[in-house]
Amino acid sequence: MRVTVQIRIEGTTSRPFTVPLYTIDRRCDQVQDVGFALGEAKSILGKLQQTIVRQQLESYLAERRACPHCQRPRAIKGSHPLRFRTAFGDIDLRSPRWRRCRCEQSREATFCPLSELLTVHTSPELTYLQAKWAAQVSFAAVGALLHDVLPIDQGLRPETIRRHVLDTAERLEAQLGPEEFAYDGGSQREIEASPEPAAPITVGLDGGYIRGRERLPGANGCFEVIAGKSIPEEGAAKVFAFVHRIDPKPKRRLRAVLESQGILPRQHITFLCDGGDTVRELGAFVHPRSEHILDWFHVAMRIEQLLQTTRGLQGAEKPELQWAVP
């Protein structure tokens, strides 16, 4: 059986034309022959992406070639190679450089029109997939996963993924806003005039130590991580984490999680933690109507520690303490 996959392109200013993408020429004698093979699907997706991107950019350049004042086409000075990474393969392009028209009155004699569209050289979808999976598995595993299921170029290595994830994190950090000592929700009159609050939100906080990759001289090689989970009675729960003494905006980060869940000034929030100074100070002054409770697990741990201490004091020398232990 021979099947040719084609794409038909119809433009507003040009006649429709058909572009062949891939030809499948094989028999269907076994179950693994039914449908697309993984390699065939990746090849079709890659060629389809290249065709679509090139047609889109050609239309984009054609619409902007003319001077906006005199409508005369701008002269071409040259071009340079450009690679645009997408979730369906890398696209090698030629980015033209145009001369400015005299009537534009610009300080720049030339400019690259594609730089106004392709502000980054990696598509947002690919950046999203890298950041999403890098939060759950290693960078090497992310690269292996994306290479297995998508027609991604082999140039996407763990170090490249790490750099892209770091760029995404820095951009999100810049959008987070400054740290504040307290988030009071406004004056008492503004709080009372705010909309009727939704159901309460419960936030669990806890800290732990993780052994670092590098150990500084005189240090134990561990760093403290604060993790939490915000659970509303209505809606999806959200998790967050940061490194203590490294993150400069811990309260702002927690406040951003609550704001993403639509928190209101009069809404009640319950913080559950182990009572430690680090996690107790994090929830303080984050919301005007908050309650801080020592959770039952850590209460039981404290009681168990007291019981163990009491058991150790038992003996012939202190028989009066025997009654205190069940």
Residue, of 1 and 64, whose pLDDT is higher: 64
Helices (H), 98-157: 114-117, 124-134, 139-149
Count Cα neighbours of 143 within 13 Å in the Cβ-side half-sphere. Answer: 16
Sign (positive or negative) of CA dihedral 150, 152, 157, 159: negative
pLDDT digits (tens, 9 = 90+) for 258-280: 999 988 888 889 999 887 788 88
Please report, rounded to a whole number, the percentage of residues in the chain having pLDDT higher than 90: 44
At 17, is the pLDDT very low, low, confident or very high (cuts 50, 70, 90)? confident
* Per-residue pLDDT at 316: 46
Taking 90 as the threshold, does the pLDDT of residue 106 lie above it?
no
Cα–Cα distance for residue pair 191/267, rounded to 1 Å: 10
* Per-residue pLDDT at 138: 94
> Alpha carbon of 285 to those of 230, 289, 307: distances in Å?
16, 9, 35
Token digits of residue 102: 């005299």
Cα–Cα distance for residue pair 2/18, rounded to 1 Å: 18
Q: Directed axis angle between helix 158-176 and helix 124-134, to 10°?
A: 100
Q: Are 225 and 243 in contact (CB under 8 A)?
A: yes
Q: How many CB atoms lie within 10 A of CB 266?
A: 16
Architecture of the CATH domain 197-213+220-294: 2-Layer Sandwich (3.30)
Q: Please report, as a single letter, which amino acid is at residue 107.
A: R
At 320, is the pLDDT very low, low, confident or very high (cuts 50, 70, 90)? low
At 319, is the pLDDT very low, low, confident or very high (cuts 50, 70, 90)? low
* Per-residue pLDDT at 45: 92
Cα–Cα distance for residue pair 27/203, rounded to 1 Å: 58
At 318, is the pLDDT very low, low, confident or very high (cuts 50, 70, 90)? low
Taking 50 as the threshold, does the pLDDT of residue 205 lie above it?
yes
Q: What does the chain come to in residues?
A: 326
pLDDT digits (tens, 9 = 90+) for 161-197: 999 999 999 998 889 888 888 887 677 777 777 788 8
Taking 50 as the threshold, does the pLDDT of residue 325 lie above it?
no
Q: What is the pTM of this model?
A: 0.74
Q: Are 205 and 279 in contact (CB under 8 A)?
A: yes
Cα–Cα distance for residue pair 21/292, rounded to 1 Å: 61
Q: From the centroid of its chain, how far is CA 289?
A: 30
In this prediction, residues 243-256 reach a mean pLDDT of: 91
Strand ranges in the chain using DSSP code E only, listed in sequence order: 2-9, 17-25, 76-86, 89-99, 110-111, 201-211, 222-232, 238-243, 269-273, 290-294
> Alpha carbon of 39 to those of 36, 152, 219: distances in Å?
8, 12, 50
* Per-residue pLDDT at 317: 56
* Per-residue pLDDT at 309: 81
Cα–Cα distance for residue pair 240/260, rounded to 1 Å: 12
